[in-house]
């Protein structure tokens, strides 16, 4: 057989392995000394060779399972410069291990796939903060059983992580992180903090320059916290801590880029804000009366007056606080 590219050869052998009942992997390759182009490529069964001695601690609780059996199944292709194609010059189809039965071949690692339709559902669920396991259970019920979904829960988690990494690679998060590092090197008084989730992905950001911190020390008795000012790409809220100076001019005390508006995010943000301001809490903080925000304020700043908690009991106090700002 002959193939236009090395990738076409890989896809063919992978499809062949899916029909027969084994997974494949790329093995060694050689590049042409003249052109530098890939000249030979070997594809083998995933059970080819023997694993090297495990150098980890012998008391490891969950050692890796031994999967290699020295299987000799393989396909070797060589680039033919005259034809401009990769020609198969060696093929071995015998295996020294049991093959996967036909009913289970679609669940092998290289055969599992999240379709474009399923990817849309996963994206919508992720953007709506629906737990991964809940979405997988829903799709399993829609398909009739978990075996009919076409992928496992780990594939779904990997897809979400990859998508978020691609979004953060060239998005606002990467630009802001570089901005923070540069300013922190130039000015040690510059404060910034990043919150990571369990997958080590950036969720929330907060920063304040030295002028913001100084202004808060003078005019931070009354603070306005607003998350409705602007939504960035992906509908992520951009939040500001604001106040007024002696000239009744708006003063910024800090800024944050949030992944969501949950209680846990607000708790982290308010706690980080106090750390940046050396623990000084405002006497009054005005918000848009969000329930999750109010609960976080009661937890982090129990001594701070929050007008949204006093609207029913003391409307005059609320009005006076707004007039003050």
- Over the stretch 294-305, which tens digit does the pLDDT of each residue have? 888 889 998 888
- Quick one: pLDDT band at residue 264, thresholds 50, 70, 90? confident
Region 230-253: mean pLDDT is 81
Region 223-240: mean pLDDT is 73
Q: What is the 3 state secondary structure string of 244-291? A: ECCCCCEEEEEEEECCCCCHHHHHHHHHHHHHHCCCCCCCEEECCCCH
Region 177-185: mean pLDDT is 85
**202 and 296 share one domain:** yes
Q: What are the CA-CA distances from residue 303 to residues 109, 223, 283, 284 (Å)?
A: 55, 14, 8, 9
**180 and 296 share one domain:** yes
Residue 61 resides in a domain: no
Greater confidence, 184 or 321? 184
Cβ 41 vs Cβ 29: under 8 Å: yes
**8 and 119 share one domain:** no
What's the domain range around 222?
172-324
**198 and 296 share one domain:** yes
Pairing state between β 222-232 and 284-286: parallel
54 has pLDDT over 70? no
**116 and 249 share one domain:** no
197 has pLDDT over 80? no
Q: In the prediction, which pLDDT does 320 show?
A: 35
**179 and 317 share one domain:** yes
Query: Starting at the edge strand that comes first in sequence, how are the strands of the sheet with 85-92 ordered?
Result: 2-3, 85-92, 74-80, 38-45, 24-31
**176 and 320 share one domain:** yes
Number of structural domains the chain divides into: 3
- Over the stretch 83-110, which tens digit does the pLDDT of each residue have? 889 999 999 999 999 998 887 887 888 8
**20 and 48 share one domain:** yes
313 has pLDDT over 60? no
Residue 14 resides in a domain: yes
**300 and 256 share one domain:** yes
Q: In the prediction, which pLDDT does 315 show?
A: 39
**187 and 296 share one domain:** yes
Region 51-80: mean pLDDT is 79
**80 and 200 share one domain:** no
Greater confidence, 114 or 232? 114
Residue ending a domain, choose from 168, 186, 216: 168
Share of the chain above pLDDT 70, in %: 85
Residue 303 resides in a domain: yes
Q: In the prediction, which pLDDT does 95 show?
A: 93
Residue 275 resides in a domain: yes
Region 289-318: mean pLDDT is 68
What is the average pLDDT score of the chain? 82
Residue 16 resides in a domain: yes
Can you read off the two tokens belonging to residue 236?
Answer: 């992520």
Q: Provide CB contacts within 8 A for 6, sequence distance 6+.
A: 38, 41, 77, 86
Share of the chain above pLDDT 90, in %: 32
Residue 45 resides in a domain: yes
Give the range among 30-34, 85-89, 160-164 with minimum mean pLDDT: 160-164
**161 and 232 share one domain:** no
Residue 254 resides in a domain: yes
Residue 62 resides in a domain: no
């Amino acid at each position: 057989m002959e193939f236009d590219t090395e990738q076409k050869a890989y896809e063919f052998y992978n499809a062949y392995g899916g029909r027969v009942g084994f997974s494949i992997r790329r093995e060694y390759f050689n590049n042409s000394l003249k052109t530098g182009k890939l000249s030979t490529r070997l594809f083998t069964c995933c059970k080819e060779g023997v694993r090297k001695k495990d150098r980890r601690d012998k008391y490891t609780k969950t050692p890796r399972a031994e999967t290699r059996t020295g299987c000799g199944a393989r396909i070797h292709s060589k680039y033919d410069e005259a034809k401009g194609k990769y020609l198969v010059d060696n093929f071995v189809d015998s295996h020294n291990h049991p093959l996967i039965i036909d009913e289970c071949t679609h669940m092998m690692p290289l055969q599992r796939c999240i379709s474009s339709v399923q990817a849309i559902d996963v994206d919508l669920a992720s953007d709506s903060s629906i737990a991964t396991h809940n979405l997988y259970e829903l799709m399993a019920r829609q398909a009739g059983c978990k075996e009919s979904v076409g992928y496992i829960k780990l594939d779904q988690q990997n897809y979400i992580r990859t998508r978020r990494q691609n979004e953060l690679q060239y998005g606002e998060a990467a630009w802001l992180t570089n901005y923070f590092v540069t300013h922190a090197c130039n000015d040690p008084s510059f404060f910034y903090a990043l919150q990571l989730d369990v997958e080590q992905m950036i969720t929330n950001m907060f920063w304040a320059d030295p002028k913001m911190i100084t202004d808060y020390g003078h005019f931070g008795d009354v603070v306005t916290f607003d998350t409705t000012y602007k939504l960035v790409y992906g509908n992520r809220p951009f939040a500001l801590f604001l106040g007024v100076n002696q000239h009744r001019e708006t003063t910024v005390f800090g800024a944050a880029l949030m992944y969501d508006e949950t209680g846990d995010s607000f708790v982290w943000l308010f706690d980080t804000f106090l750390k940046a301001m050396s623990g000084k809490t405002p006497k009054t903080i005005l918000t848009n009366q969000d329930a999750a925000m109010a609960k976080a304020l009661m937890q982090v700043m129990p001594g701070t007056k929050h007008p949204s908690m006093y609207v029913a009991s003391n409307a005059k106090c609320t009005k006076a606080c707004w007039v003050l700002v």
